[in-house]
Chains A and B, each alone.
Chain A
Amino acid sequence: MRAASLPSTGGKGLVLYAMLYLAFLYIPVLLLPLFSFNNSVFIAFPLSGFTVKWYGAMAADEEMRAALWNSLQVAAVASLSSTILGLLAAKVLVRRVPGRALFAGLTSLPLFIPDIVLAIALLMLASKLEIPLSLATVVIGHIVICIPFAVAVLISRFHGVDEDLEEASRDLGENAWMTFWRVTFPLVLPGIVASLLLTFIVSFDDFLIAFFLCGTDTTLPVYIWGELRFPYKLPNVLALGSIILVASGSLIAIAEWLRRFGGGRSCPPVRVGYR
């Protein structure tokens, strides 16, 4: 019998398939930057010349700037809060604690509830408690949808941390707080940064929760949603979208890199496969 690779690696066909798959993923996305540089209000081929005027028009838009600022504030608060809450939960969830299944279930529950359901449920609660809709209500919704992501990222990081180090620190007389601060925290720091970036993106990109809970304080996706109705404003929106694409793509790249390689002391980035 040939010592063929096990399992079969699928031959050339599989490589071709992977290329086609990437094309399917990227071609629609790359249309946005393409048309953002096109010198025509109509989004159709053939392209009619290069321009950066849409970027200028977009940058000059007051409403857009206000929405962007709102989104940045919401995402900053939501990512920080959900990462702290995720850190506390992850620290407990990696241990054998009675009731662990319940805690794990509750922290991942948002993944199993469509956003629209969570949005209207929070809307009803806000109205019952007579809390006015604002960026604060959006932040609360975003914290909920961000927690599962924060917990997942941080748990994978905690698994790489050697518990003996914490124990050693305690044996040497550090209290729980100092042990966390001087031993655990530096070890999970790459995970914390990854979680901050990831939850920032989740919040920044969310449309539906903000759509229901923002009241009159527009976030960027809610603003974009309004603009999509006006064909003559489309090129501006495409320019804005291209910038978001580049910015969030870079954040994700950094987050993933930190989660996998950051800090050196962790499980190897990818389990070594076999040949």
Chain B
Amino acid sequence: MSVAGRIEQRLLRSEAARNYLLISPTMTVLVFALAAPLALMIMYSFWRESGLVLDTNPTLAQYAVATTRAIYRVLFLRSLAIASLVTLTTVVLGYPMAYFLAFRVKRGKFIWLLLLSIPFWTSYLLRVFAWKIILGYEGLINSGLLRLGLVSQPLDFLLYNATSVVIALTHSYAAFTILPIYVSLEKIDPALLEAAADLGDSAFQRFLRIVLPLSLPGVIAAAVLTFVPVLGDYVTPTLVGGSDGLMIANMIQVQFGRANNWPLGAALAVSSMALVAVLIILFVQAAQLAAAKIR
């Protein structure tokens, strides 16, 4: 190796060393405050609460309980169903809005983006609570219907069920999905669309064969970023879910509260994380396959 080459190597190495030094505080914090607790949680899920002491002989007992008992299965399935539905509705509702922002709004995009993001950032707790005011027994919809004489008694099926949970969560995450989709729509090269038009594609064909597949990365990002927090949501099912709308996070909380069975709580949490990971991988694969098919 030439002398110059060796000096360059040395420089590169010191450059790399400086980079590692720079990023090491952040990585240290993440290892101790994120990786370590997650590792401990996984260990906990293989332990057992026996009386007041923790039995640390590894056992699969918690997972046996988590997978076989009907109540947990129901909660897992319901959380999955609610999270999938919310993801679907937010993406379907958000896509036209992102499209509008990317292709229709010429001036004042910034104001639109701001208007869309402000509700997302403001008091999550109270936003969910607002739905109690709207859907409640003496709420907005019921008092309106009563005054209009459309019903003689307040409707009691509006609140405290899985549907009200889906509505409130869809509202909470609505704007969150717009940004990633908008960003990927913005990147689309107009020349592609012109070429397609010249070759005789109709507007709808252009959308289906160019715009939609090229915006798919944004759609995938939006779906994943919604699905994860929704699956683990605790506030919404507690406030508007009633007993029929409870989700897995409520059961995890119970294990750290009233039931005081931390290993089971850990096993439920690890299972939901594993479920999220598997589903995300499957979803991303399926979405990419679908995109390839369309083209």
Q: CB within 8 Å of B: which residues of A?
A: 1, 4-10, 14-15, 17-18, 21-22, 24-26, 28-29, 31-32, 35, 42-46, 84-86, 88-89, 91-93, 95, 97-99, 103, 106-107, 109-118, 120-125, 128, 140-141, 143-144, 147, 176, 198, 201, 205, 207-208, 212, 221, 224-225, 228, 237-238, 241, 244-245, 248-249, 252-253, 256-257, 260-261, 269-271, 273-275
Having A252-B118, A271-B186, one finds 17 other A-B pairs with CB under 8 Å, namely: A1-B198, A9-B103, A21-B97, A22-B116, A24-B174, A25-B175, A26-B119, A31-B133, A85-B25, A116-B234, A116-B252, A117-B272, A124-B37, A143-B29, A176-B18, A224-B126, A244-B122
B129 part of interface (Cβ distance < 8 Å): yes
- Among residues of A, the one whose C-beta sits closest to the C-beta of B141 is A45
Which of A97, A123, A147, A241 is in CB contact (< 8 Å) with B126? A241
Name the distance in Å between B22's Cβ and chain A's nearest Cβ. Answer: 5
In the bound complex, how far is the Cα of B44 from the Cα of A113, in angstroms? Answer: 17
Q: Known contacts A15-B100, A35-B133, A125-B36; decide if A244 and B123 are in contact (CB<8 Å).
A: yes
For the complex of A and B, list the 9 residue pairs with the smallest distance between their C-beta atoms, beginning with the closest.
A114-B232, A121-B37, A28-B130, A241-B126, A6-B193, A121-B41, A125-B37, A8-B203, A89-B26
In the bound complex, how far is the Cα of B144 from the Cα of A46, in angstroms? Answer: 9
Taking chain A's interface residues, is the majority helix, strand, or loop, or is none over half, making it mixed? helix
A-B contact count (CB 8 A): 265
- Among residues of A, the one whose C-beta sits closest to the C-beta of B185 is A7
Please tell me if the beta carbons of A245 and B123 are within 8 angstroms of each other in the complex: yes
Q: Known contacts A86-B26, A106-B30, A270-B110; decide if A120 and B228 are in contact (CB<8 Å).
A: no
Q: Known contacts A22-B115, A256-B117; decide if A17 and B97 are in contact (CB<8 Å).
A: yes
In the bound complex, how far is the Cα of B127 from the Cα of A241, in angstroms? Answer: 9
Please tell me if the beta carbons of B127 and A29 are within 8 angstroms of each other in the complex: yes
Interface residues contributed by chain B, number (CB under 8 Å) = 96
Give 24 pairs: A residue, B residue, CB < 8 Å, sorted on A: A10-B96, A14-B104, A24-B171, A25-B116, A28-B130, A28-B133, A45-B143, A85-B29, A88-B25, A89-B26, A98-B16, A106-B31, A109-B30, A114-B249, A117-B41, A120-B41, A125-B40, A143-B33, A207-B235, A221-B125, A256-B110, A256-B117, A260-B110, A270-B109
Q: Known contacts A43-B133, A205-B122, A256-B110; decide if A114 and B229 are in contact (CB<8 Å).
A: yes
